[in-house]
Amino acid sequence: MRYHSAIYGLQIHLNERVPGLKFSTLHSGTPDLQIDFGAMPSWFANEPLTRELRYVRQNGEPTAKPRLAVWSLGDYYHLEYLDGTQFLVDSGGTRVWATWPADTLTLEDTATYLLGPVMGFVLLLRGFVSLHACAFAINNRAIAIVGPAGSGKSTTVAGFAELGYPILAEDVVTLREQGDEFMVQPGYPSIRLWPCSVRALYGWEATLPKLTPTWDKRYLDLTQEKYKFQQQPLPLAAIYLLDERRDEAAPSISEIAPAERLISLVANTYANYLMDKTMRAREFEILNRVLNSVSMKRLTPHSDPRRIGGLCHTIIEDV
């Protein structure tokens, strides 16, 4: 049985129902992406393969097993994580296979990789630039919050969800050029939050359910009646770069020097560690056009994460 869904502007077919996605029984034509869980293709295990190591993310000591290793195998890429989760992705970004150690991990654990870094890599292979960001909507325009892991992107966009604003994407913001605008593609209808963020927003981490049975991260379900998930692409209107938290003069918004804007945006693209020279050149061209069409400013949060409401209203006033 195949399940149909849409994410980041792609129509996808899956052999399992992935938690966090919206599914439809109606879909015609060939999908953009087919995902198979639970097994690799037969040739992967049975044929001798020429492997070229493309990337290694170390895990502490150089002799330890890496957190992530990526190999190229002809027209495919093989990704293996420290916990034993593996993905095989074709070079066109049209097929994905995934396996995991069944005795220690679950489909939900594998989905956390799929919906984030793996889909970011798939989109890169298909020629799209994705930002490590969250996005919400104001007056039918998309606003993106970019920043490194742990900077507060998801907490900020959850604050906008609580204020009734439609949410477009969390963690991966995919841009598609359409005329003189860049359209932000809808992601999935949930926001993943660390327990400290849940406590800051709601007072108690058990307010939200766990993302997976084996992990303490939580999620906010945007399909609930009080929330809004934006299911159609919207034009990007502004980008805010999260800065370090401060006790004074925060929350606040300031200008970014033109030369710094491009560098900051490049540093916050998704799956950039796997880019070759051609991909990198294309990314620079696209991001230059993005910055010529929308504003980009620095956003400084207060050091107290419970003051997220003030940060959200500061952005609303600026927009």
The whole-number pLDDT of residue 191 equals 94
> What is the pLDDT at residue 272?
80
pLDDT value for 27: 61
Q: Which amino acid is at 55?
A: Y
Q: CA dist 98 to 16, 77, 101, 106, 189, Å?
A: 11, 12, 11, 12, 22
Annotated domain spans of the chain: 3-125, 129-318
Structure confidence by residue, pLDDT tens digits, 59-75: 766 667 888 999 999 89
> How far is CA 50 from each of CA 62, 78, 273, rounded to the nearest angstrom?
24, 12, 22
- 10-residue averages of pLDDT along the chain (319 residues): 90 90 74 95 82 84 81 93 95 96 92 92 92 95 92 93 96 92 95 92 90 89 94 96 89 92 91 84 92 94 89 95
Write the DSSP string, the chain: --EEEEETTEEEEESS--TT--EES---S--SEEEEES---HHHHHS----EEEEEE--SSTTSPPSEEEEEETTEEEEEETTS-EEEEETTS-EEEEE--TTT--HHHHHHHIIIIIHHHHHHHTT-EEEEEEEEEETTEEEEEE-STTSSHHHHHHHHHHTT--EEEEEEEEEEEETTEEEEPP--SEEEE-HHHHHHHHS-GGGS-EEETTEEEEEEETTSTT--B--S-EEEEEEEEE---BSSS-SEEEE--HHHHHHHHHHTBTTGGG--HHHHHHHHHHHHHHHHHSEEEEEE-BSSGGGHHHHHHHHHHH-
- Say what the pTM is: 0.90
Q: What are φ and ψ of residue 49, in 5° steps? A: -120, 140
pLDDT above 90 coverage of the chain, percent: 69
Class of domain 129-318: alpha beta
Which of 152, 98, 140, 144 has the alpha carbon at shortest distance from 121? Answer: 98
